[in-house]
Chains A and B, each alone.
Chain A
């Protein structure tokens, strides 16, 4: 196990550049010449740009400076030995949800029987790092092809550094039956800086349900800069979920790039329940006629938590649909950003593009910055955007109370109803029930980070007393 620890203050950027030089051999091991060139460019790009600051337009409301002023540990090889017993950490706990679990620990792919698995149908699931070596042609055909390093210096930094993560390949015409469940756990005794990279490829007519969970198992501070590239082939369908339930000391920059070919369909649904600072950047390119992307998100933040959703949809071809809906409830001094940008290019006639961001602020101190934005160059399109920021509907509150329901439960019912619009789009029923339950707990202030989408750490929650039963009977 090789470890590099360094003080990241006062200048994390310089330290990172130094670490790259020093660990170049490890970082670039098994890389193709093209990949080496790309990653060298990426580190140069990061060198020029540095970390985003609030002077950067797209980062004006999300200030990383405090999070970057920490003494993080960096690792260039796995932080655990092969064969370590991880069963205590990774334990599926969604009742009735049968999944194909794909775990990551501290950004490293974890497996007890080899780094890459191939099913008889040709589905490949494995370590991003190992796939470079085992399937170089397949890997090099896709890796780094849509993660545009000019979009953000965080993407450049990840491109330069990221060594491991998860690789998933679904060949043409294969419908994967069980949902794949990528679980990313951080467990370490130091504040750790993680840069993982995932690559998901769906061939023509392929189908996959993918659940990405990012959780903490303790209160340890961490910084994750994660990039995921997802290719959805012609007439393929990806049903994608992100569940983020991290501790209050964690910073999570999560950038996803999706590319959709002709007739392809994407549902992506991100539920953010807890986290210190979370930034989701989602780039969707509609790269073929008649493709469709439904991009949804719900965030429930309190205390001083901050969540930032940036969504960029690029309509390149005619007859495509994109539909964005993000809903947030902010309590205490929590803050949220929604920045949606839809680009409809000149050739993208008959585009349907919708964008909506709705927020409920529960206190005077909670803040939301919302910026829906359409950029349209085609003339025959249907596009709309909207944003609302409000309090709970007072007429509805009175109606509920007039039936005997007290303030607390009336608020819960309305907040839950607000979030349910997003939850109801979850098509994996056991996952929906689980997330539904987590959202209720979150709204009651009873959700712990030990209460993950799939996992329970050894210290279970105290038994919970429900004073309201929202369950179906």
Chain B
């Protein structure tokens, strides 16, 4: 589904990702772990298409056989990529409902489908809301405006449930969450898991992986994936920290 080969990414001339390779197949859950400042969020943003700060200097990112790097941000989303933001953006004045309805209809339009009916929209919205335990009506709420950290993250999973992406990349979705919110978020992600979908979970701590069980764990260090393994790698990282990996690769 996703194939990243020899990816190099710079910010202001400084190389952040330095030859990264990653293969993700449908149905898989991958966890990318690593210390701060090693390029985890950069990787997520580059896959989603942020290009105003990053320069991809080398390598390729292929999604379902298509070159993602040539694609506009919105087209990547329409093809099925979803980025759960580490810091979801507050957009005062844009209601969540208009936002989601516009997004769904643009995706449907891209796929040659008719706009969603109001009834169908309401139906999937209610489902998505209950999935993450959003009680409020949302009708008059602006996107993320005045949301607590936990609400913002729930809102990301809510959007994921609405848009049903093929590849979801969750960037530090666990940061700033208490254990209850973490369970809600993880439960949302697990419920959305399908054989035809894949998820990349980017996290600093092993904690989230108690709830979202990864098939593969990768350690990103200094712009490269330096170690990959199964879920037991995450546990080892939790007990031993990252320093032993640094020593191992040096």
Contact = CB atoms under 8 A, between A and B. Distances in A.
Interface in A350-384: none
Interface string A418-452: 10110000000000000000000000000000000
Contacts of A400: 91, 94, 99, 103
A402 interface: yes
A135 interface: no
A63 B175 CA distance: 55
A405 B94 contact: no
B163 interface: yes
A81 interface: no
Interface of A is mostly: helix
B74 A405 contact: yes
A421 B92 contact: yes
A417 B118 contact: no
A405 B118 CA distance: 18
B7 to A, nearest CB: 19
Given A400-B91, A413-B99, A469-B105, A406 B85 contact: no
Interface residues on A, range: 20 to 34
Contacts, number: 98
Interface of B is mostly: helix
A473 B106 contact: no
B102 to A, nearest CB: 5
A399 interface: yes
A394 B82 CA distance: 18
A162 B162 CA distance: 60
Question: Looking at A406, A414, A418, which has the most chain B CB atoms within 10 Å of its CB?
Answer: A406
Contacts of B101: 469, 473
Question: Looking at B82, B102, B118, B139, which has the most chain A CB atoms within 10 Å of its CB?
Answer: B102
Interface in B91-131: 91-95, 97-107, 110, 115, 118, 121-122
A271 B73 CA distance: 34
Contacts of B122: 473
A473 B104 CA distance: 14
Contacts of B95: 472
B72 interface: yes
B77 interface: yes
Contacts of A34: none
B48 interface: yes
B90 to A, nearest CB: 8
A413 B143 CA distance: 11
B93 A418 contact: yes
Interface string A254-290: 0000000000000000000000000000000000000
Given A398-B50, A399-B88, A472-B139, A404 B94 contact: no
A407 interface: yes
Nearest to B79: A404
A152 B97 CA distance: 48
A3 interface: no
B91 A403 contact: no
A385 interface: no
Contacts of A403: 77, 82, 99-100, 103, 159, 163
B93 A399 contact: no
A402 B97 contact: no
Given A398-B73, A401-B74, A403-B159, A414 B103 contact: no
Interface of A: 393-396, 398-407, 409-410, 413-414, 416-418, 420-421, 468-470, 472-473
20 contacts: A400-B94, A400-B103, A401-B73, A401-B74, A401-B77, A402-B48, A402-B49, A403-B99, A403-B163, A405-B74, A406-B74, A407-B74, A409-B106, A413-B98, A417-B93, A418-B93, A469-B115, A472-B97, A473-B97, A473-B101
Given A398-B89, A399-B88, 10 more contacts: A401-B72, A402-B83, A403-B77, A404-B110, A405-B74, A405-B106, A406-B106, A414-B94, A420-B93, A472-B139
